Amino acid sequence: MRVIAIEPKNHSAIYVVADVKEKNITYVSHGEISPATDESRTNEMRCISRQVRELVKTHSADELLIKASSVSRGMGAGHLGTAEVRGICVGASDIPAELIQPESMAKGKKRDSLKNDKLFEDNGLGDILKKSREAGLLIIKKANS
């Protein structure tokens, strides 16, 4: 099954594409969905939606894995912007989408898992950039569920 994991940001999204068969992960690609910086917020959302649809079509994806919201102190406009991007990503395609809260994949905190090179190498995602690891954790969690 080909999956695209997406980590929404306030004005963009990070993605990782991988094939998942049982607990085996095969890395395909990663990148960033990012509209032009001079776009209005409405056009920015439209551009992100279009890029997600194109990504799904280009990679013949079967499922979207999207990082779920998390609650933290001091939530502000950035969190609301990220929620908007999350909603746009969920609705951008006709394929199934699952909201997943990434968790620590080992003893310790999630940030320790994000720094764990061996975790990503052992799960076929050693080639992704460090900034893409949050999305990578979604794929690892899906493969191990």
In the chain, where the domains are located: 2-143
pLDDT for residue 71: 62
- Sign, CA dihedral 124-108-67-12, equals negative
What class, spelled out in words, does domain 2-143 have in CATH? alpha beta
- The answer on pLDDT for 58 being more than 80 is yes
Could you give the percent of the chain with pLDDT greater than 90? 50
- Using the predicted structure, report yes or no on whether residue 102 has a pLDDT greater than 90: no
What is the pTM assigned to this prediction?
Answer: 0.88
Rounded to whole angstroms, the Cα distance separating 83 from 124 reads: 29
pLDDT digits (tens, 9 = 90+) for 122-144: 999 999 998 999 999 999 989 98
pLDDT grade for 101, boundaries at 50, 70 and 90 = confident
Closest CA to 10 of 38, 51, 48: 48
Buried b (16+ CB within 10 A) or exposed e, 7-36: bbbebbbbbbbbbbeeeebebeebeebebe
pLDDT at position 24, please? 94
The residue ranges of DSSP E strands in the chain, in sequence order, are 2-8, 13-21, 24-33, 63-67, 97-100
Q: Identify the band that residue 73 occupies on the pLDDT scale cut at 50, 70 and 90.
A: low
Angstrom distance (rounded) from CA 91 to CA 64 = 10
Confidence of residue 77 (pLDDT cuts 50, 70, 90): low
Query: Max CA-CA distance within the chain?
Result: 43
